[in-house]
Amino acid sequence: MSSDPVGGSYTPPPPPPPGSTGPGGPAGGDIIYPAQPPKDPILVLILNLLILGGVGYLIMGQKMKGIIAIIACIIVAIPTCGGGSLLIAAAAAIDGYMQAQQLQQGHPIGQWTWFQNHL
């Protein structure tokens, strides 16, 4: 009998070393490690595209990035009659998809990682 989890042999990355207080340590919380099971990139894309450009970030763990995207969508929607919000949501959907793919592949991402700029 194997001790591997159902569906494969996923090994999460090691946690940061104890006592680390730098930007990637527990005090900063800047690194997001893959979850088990990993978040679906398509779900993140759809949530960011359809719900104010930031909900997908929230479920991935990029909380501040998600909050900023939601606030930006609301603020930009007023003077642009929603057109600017669509652009923000589209960019957030693509970025969220790329970030979720990295997490799904077992790579950690930063709190403020954008597009292909991964750790």
- Note the pTM of the prediction, 2 decimals: 0.69
Sign for the CA dihedral angle at 53, 100, 22, 63 comes to positive
Per-residue pLDDT band for 108 (boundaries 50, 70, 90) equals confident
Establish how many alpha carbons lie within 13 A of residue 78's alpha carbon, considering only the half-sphere containing its beta carbon. Answer: 4
For residue 16, what is the DSSP state?
A: P
Closest CA to 112 of 29, 43, 55, 50: 29
Query: Can you give the pLDDT at residue 67?
Result: 93
Q: What is the pLDDT of residues 26-72, one digit of tens each?
A: 333 588 888 778 788 999 999 998 888 889 999 988 899 999 999 99
> In degrees to the nearest 10, what's the CA dihedral of 19, 11, 58, 31?
30
Extract the runs of DSSP E, i.e. beta strands, from the chain: 31-32, 109-110
